[in-house]
Amino acid sequence: MQSNSIPKLEIKVIIGLGNPGPAYCATRHNIGFQVVDALADQHYGSWQAKNNMELCSITFNDHKLLLVKPMTYMNDSGKVLSYLAKQGVAQDNILVVHDELELPFGVLKLKFDGSAKGHNGLKSIMALGGSNFLRLRFGIDRPVNREDVPDYVLAKFRETKSQIDEKIDLALQLIADYLTVSSQ
């Protein structure tokens, strides 16, 4: 699940990528929102609306973390970076959780730096802050035809809720493992 080339970073913020609104809540593109929602629930956090985002502060092993859900739609996710910069958060203090077409459903991989590979949420973040951040790539598989990608990512999972929840739990464990190792 994790490569040895992942640096130990002081993560202060976890951004889950997705689109706001009930029409998108259970779609493949919103798996980032689902993961940070589960993390907030696990740590008894509550979300607060602020400007163009929702924020939730949690404590993990005596370490304060800010969870962020951009409410700007995927293509403008990077707009939250100006707020984070004002809070003293550097690019390498951020973990972004996002859907990944290049991985089979539920395969989880941490990656540091690199390209956006066509992901508009990552493109937005990189355009406004660079690529020097950690990502948790959550595999959603890909449709056979490239032209089906926009509809595919905005569609609901074909997997069951229990299968999705199981993979979200694995994502939370991967995040916990990384945060524990990087704080030692």
Active site residues: 29
Q: In what order do the strands lie in the sheet with 63-70?
A: 48-50, 53-60, 63-70, 13-16, 94-100, 134-139, 108-112
Q: Which of 31, 72, 30 is nearest to 50 (CA)?
A: 72
Using CA atoms, how far residue 114 sits from 4, 65, 111, 130, 165, in Å, is 16, 24, 8, 10, 28
CA 136 to CA 148: how far, in whole Å?
A: 24
Q: Which runs of consecutive H residues, i.e. helices, occur in 68-119?
A: 81-86
SS3 29: helix
The strand ranges marked E within 23-180 are 48-50, 53-60, 63-70, 94-100, 108-112, 134-139
Q: If you ran DSSP here, which 8-state letter would residue 155 be given?
A: S
